[in-house]
Amino acid sequence: MGEVDRSRLGSEAEERCVAWLERAGYCIRERNWLAREGELDIVAERNEVLCFVEVRMRTSAVFGDPSGTVTREKQRRVVRAALRYLQRRPAPRRMIRFDVMTVLGRGPAAVIEHLPGAFDAGM
């Protein structure tokens, strides 16, 4: 699969996750927020909890669940990027949470799973 296809699939997965989060009552604060430390796929808020959401997608389960691709190193990068986000976007004190959302499959048959609190800053 080429880089363009991967990028398109990733964008499609993020779109689906954003729509899912909005239907669940989350307010989307940022998408694809970039810093030297890394990228935050989605920053969302609900009930005064700020969620840093890592999105993972696979077209099939042949190679396992997409959540298994969120390695310790990826978690560290997300945490560092989240800390930078909080420095640059001061806001009222909020609880923070690190979530993972997975998309398995493509199109209308894709299965979306939300894993709130999938990892923590202490790892």
pLDDT at 63: 66
pLDDT per residue over 69-113, tens digit each? 899 999 999 999 999 999 998 777 789 999 999 999 888 888 999
pLDDT at 92: 77
In angstroms, the first-to-last Cα distance of the chain is: 32
pLDDT per residue over 3-27, tens digit each? 547 677 778 899 999 999 999 999 9
Contact status, residue 52 vs residue 63, Cβ threshold 8 Å: no
Q: What is the CATH number of domain 3-119?
A: 3.40.1350.10
**Domain limits, the chain:** 3-119
pTM above 0.85, yes or no: yes
Residues 6+ apart with CB under 8 A from 68: none
Look up residue 118 and give its DSSP letter.
E
In order, the DSSP letters of 14-45 are: HHHHHHHHHHTTPEEEEEEEEETTEEEEEEEE
